Amino acid sequence: MAAAGEEKTVSDYIVHHLTNLTYGKLPEGFERHDGDTVAAGGEWTFAHGADEIAAMGFNAVHVDSLGWSIGLGLVFCMLFRWAAVRASADAPSGLLNFIEMIVEFIDNQVKDTFHGKNKLIAPLSLTIFVWVFLMNLMDLIPVDVVPELMLFAGVEYQKIVPSTDPNITMGMAIGVFFLMLFYSIKVKGFGFVRELTMNPFNHWAFIPVNLFMEVVGLLAKPFSLGLRLFGNMYAGEMIFILIAALFGAGVFWLLPAALLQLGWAIFHILVITLQAFIFMVLTIVYLSMAHEDH
């Protein structure tokens, strides 16, 4: 792959595809890639390379991850609104039938897994499953197509799979975590404090031990949600990039690379669906646990 008139090595190619389009504030006095020094007060700009991204620290956002995730969320809303408007008592067909199958499937999963009473859980589960699936589905687009098009438009970096960004996956997981805390307090009240301090050893002397174990277990839930999705999708994207790099290794590798790309894409259809399903099911399970008042 060539960028800015320079031929990239395989290592450069991989790093480029794994770098987010980052907008943030560079600190005062920082020397940029073109030799310019950031003026007093810092500078808000798009990062060029890992050094500038690291210098921005927390004063930065991944524009591509946010843009694609919000865009796919809007696609989900418009698609399901289209289906809701056209829903009727008649037998559905085509896309409408497929959407109704998804809604029924999610509804059955909630009925089987969630043991409380909450009208939020079913629509939340549907949103999570479809949204995560759409974000994962972007992984099936050939890795060079969108970055090359954006490069012609003057945008140097572009990651189009939001679920390969831990900020996105952990953001969703933290949202679920806050819901867990909210419903744990709402449903259990002071019983939630007792749950954290008097389990598994029901004696005041073991409160520090109980609290440590329960808090660790509680915090492990959002990490298990966010990092599992990120790790699986990031690994899948990395394999796609490595296979794509084979196309530049010579004529001998063209056919093997094409077969590997096709085989991995077919297998990855299962992966992206399974990861969306797991994220949804764990969300239902965790919120069900938050509603269980012993």
Name the residues annotated as catalytic: 224, 228, 232
Closest CA to 139 of 290, 51, 266: 266
**Which whole-number Å values give the CA distances from 184 to 88, 160, 195, 219, in the listed order?**
38, 36, 10, 14
Specify the DSSP element, H or E, that contains 46.
strand 43-46
Specify the DSSP element, H or E, that contains 108.
helix 94-113
* Angle at the Cα of 110 from the Cα atoms of 104 and 114, rounded to 5 degrees: 165
Show the tokens assigned to 203.
């004696």
The CA distance from 47 to 60, in Å, is 9
Count CB neighbours of 74 within 10 A: 10
Residue where the block lists tokens 């497929």: 98
Count CB neighbours of 38 within 10 A: 18
